[in-house]
Structure 1
Amino acid sequence: MSLDPSHAAPRGAGIFFERRELERLLRLYGRMVAAGEWRDYGMDALHDSAVFSVFRRTAEAPLYRIEKRPALAKRQGAWAILGHGGHILRRGHDLDQVLRFFDKGRFSVVD
């Protein structure tokens, strides 16, 4: 019996999120969906990075990409948030610290 190569596990499978990281990302996603800002997400396990993309509408380009690149962990930090045009909005070593980017401007004064 031979295995079809298209169904075999890829060699050197890509980088992916650990359980705690994924829980944190999905908690943020749920909060932003409840606020009406995000509607869809996607995840990619690439050779050198794991990417969590969020969308305002499914058919659009991602609003933000949250990337984990372990190769940069000792230099700039493994975590980065990239905006619509690929601009780095925040980079750091700690996921929770990087995700604080989304907490800015959440509170407003109501008279």
Structure 2
Amino acid sequence: MMNAAPPFPADPDRVVFNRQELAVILSLYGRFVAAGEWRDYGMSFLRDAAIFSVFRRATEHPLYRIEKRPKLRNAQGAYAVIGMDGRILKRGHDLAMVLRVLDKKLIRPIG
């Protein structure tokens, strides 16, 4: 069986999330959607970064941005979670570990 060509040609001038990275991000996104916290997302693929933005409503500014910046790979890490106010909440080399900063946002007191 032959491998099919990707639907779009690779663009060496853009940073993208690979399939495994998207699986990790979309798993987290699905948990927040199920909890009623997030309702929409957007992705941007730029020269220096791939950005996954999450929204409470489509018309708002993003609540969080999950960024991949390969040029920072050897410094503080390629991945970052950035809050609505522009603060870096967590940065690192392992995407799953960086995304854990958002897990505590799902825990809410009962009552």
- Shorter chain as denominator, the TM-score bin is 0.7 to 0.9
Change (3 A) 1:62 1:47: same
> Is the Cα contact below 8 Å between 2:35 and 2:106 reproduced in 1?
no
Q: Distance in 2 between matches of 1:109 and 1:94?
A: 29
- Judged with a 3 Å threshold, the aligned counterparts in structure 2 of structure 1 residues 97 and 107 are, in CA distance, closer, same or farther, namely same
Larger radius of gyration: 1
**For residues 38-57 of structure 1, what are the structure 2 equivalents within 5 Å?**
38-57=38-57
Structure 2: 5+ residue stretches without partners: 1-8
Structure 1 letter corresponding to 2:54: V
Counterparts of 1:67 and 1:32 in 2: how far apart (Å)?
18
How big is the shift at 1:12? 3.8
What's the RMSD between the two structures over aligned residues?
Answer: 1.9
Deviation at residue 110 of structure 1 after TM alignment: 5.5
| SS of equivalent to 2:84 | coil
TM-score (normalizing by structure 2): 0.84
Give the TM-score taking structure 1 as reference length. Answer: 0.84
| 1:1-111 mapped onto 2 (5 Å cutoff) | 12-104=12-104, 106-107=106-107
Q: Which has the higher contact order (CA 8 A, sep 6+)?
A: 2
AA aligned to 1:49 is A
Q: Which 4+ residue blocks in structure 1 deviate beyond 3 angstroms?
A: 9-13, 105-111
Q: What is the CA-CA distance between 1:87 and the residue it aligns to?
A: 1.1
Stretches of structure 1 that go unaligned for 5 or more consecutive residues are 1-8
